[in-house]
Structure 1
């Protein structure tokens, strides 16, 4: 198993965040420039709509990344699962392209479980190139927490690099920013005494399973 330097990994993760935020933040900047030069009331109203949409997208991404990658959720060991659900709805459910199914009966889960759930959901959601359905389930039992994420749609694309990163099969110098979330999920699960399972590439759906020891 590869052991990537923590500083190098932090740099990769920051690069991933900047890449994902560049589009909505750039749209905000462009919208402000257009608004400054536009005097037609209807066009100004349209610019404001676009600015509002870009601001909402940026905020939703930041909320999600803060919970999936950062230290959000308070100082305790548990995180309210409703917070995770809201983060996913903000990231994937706002435009109707992806239908979300939430099957998490527990009121709270450990921070570790929440991070794994969100990162696996992020990867599965990104694999739905043309939209589809994303089902997220998690349940805590006596032996630990089981997490299942299932994606199904007209076109599913899971890059081989992400598959390898989820399984820990990546060299120290081969990890790229786009695979940072997958590597993070792998490391968290392994350190929690668990493992990640992935459906075969030729399946009509994408299925992730993770088990975290109690």
Structure 2
């Protein structure tokens, strides 16, 4: 894979699209399997199970599409601010597929600037990916005096973060390799930097804390 220094905007867009497709492959593949089973199944109980599978997969696909539309794309309306209920609902949609994860939301503001929302969503995704055995995903954000501070804390029995993702967030160019997995981290690092801020990260086997500060 290329290094961050060699990455063009087209390359970044391509990697983000690849990440989206990767995350959608599982629920859409489950829908396809469910339809195939439903076409051949005559037992009422099994047909009901197939329909349940289709319903769950359709919900998961819709949740991920809505999430990535704002996290990677240009959703959120025409204004400069986004109602905090929107990112909260999007994160809740992803957490719903992980029954061993508990979400704690601490965002007193009613509105957040769009760049801050993108950073918050992508940091939440990194934290959620790290909770491989479940745990708590704690999200906090607040705007004050033209600055937005964001903190995501993932705690659990085993918390992991991909070394390349951590390197992309920390500007460790020697370790940062660009791939669909690391592209979101690289994108939000650039958003924060363009808004005069920075990202800090601290990781242990039981906790991952990522903080971001940017002007809004």
TM-score, reference length from structure 1: 0.95
| Equivalent of 2:77 in 64, 74, 79 | 74
User: CA separation in 2, counterparts of 1:139 and 1:160?
Assistant: 28
TM-aligned CA deviation for residue 134 of structure 1: 0.4
User: CA separation in 2, counterparts of 1:203 and 1:28?
Assistant: 35
Match of 1:206 in 2: 208
Distance 1:120 1:95, change over 3 A: closer
What's the CA shift string for 1:58-105, capped at 9, x where partnerless? 001111111111111101111000000000000113442210000001
Runs of 4+ in 1 over 6 A off after TM superposition: none
Contact 1:2 1:168 in 2 (8 A): no
| Equivalent of 2:170 in 167, 171, 177 | 167
How many residues get paired? 213
Q: C-alpha root-mean-square deviation of aligned residues, in Å?
A: 1.7
What's the CA shift string for 1:136-193, capped at 9, x where partnerless? 000111140000110100111111100011123337x930111111111111101111
* In the alignment, structure 1 residue 145 sits paired with structure 2 residue 123: no
Match of 1:21 in 2: 24
TM-score, reference length from structure 2: 0.94
| Equivalent of 2:129 in 112, 126, 131 | 126
Q: Secondary structure at the match of 2:73?
A: coil
Contact 2:159 2:204 in 1 (8 A): no
TM-aligned CA deviation for residue 125 of structure 1: 0.6
User: CA separation in 1, counterparts of 2:212 and 2:179?
Assistant: 23
Contact 1:2 1:169 in 2 (8 A): no
Gaps of 5+ in 2: none
User: CA separation in 2, counterparts of 1:174 and 1:124?
Assistant: 19
| Equivalent of 1:6 in 9, 27, 44 | 9
Match of 1:56 in 2: 59
* In the alignment, structure 1 residue 97 sits paired with structure 2 residue 100: yes
User: CA separation in 1, counterparts of 2:79 and 2:111?
Assistant: 11
| Equivalent of 2:47 in 38, 41, 44 | 44
Match of 2:157 in 1: 154
TM-aligned CA deviation for residue 204 of structure 1: 3.2
TM-aligned CA deviation for residue 3 of structure 1: 5.6
